[in-house]
Amino acid sequence: MARSISAHLRVDVDVSGTGNSVRALLGTANGNLQMLVNDGTISRNLMEIAGINVGNYLVGRLLKQMGKR
């Protein structure tokens, strides 16, 4: 079972939070996180492990948009 990622990744983070532990900081975090992957590949296994199901999301959004017409 191959688990791999091959890509150029750009990440922009503008987040703030308060707390005296990582858990507290993340629990109060608010802001923006943007990720851009150019010319990359991610194995299907990693997508499933991460819970990223982009295909279903896109189809759902398209169907929702088509239903508004």
Q: pLDDT tens for residues 4-63? A: 667 777 889 898 999 998 888 889 999 998 878 777 777 766 666 666 666 666 677 777
As a whole number of angstroms, the distance between CA 22 and CA 5 comes to: 26
Paired residues of 15 in beta bridges: 31
**Those residues with Cβ within 8 angstroms of residue 3's Cβ, 6 or more apart along the chain or in another chain:** 43, 45, 46, 49
pTM over 0.75: no
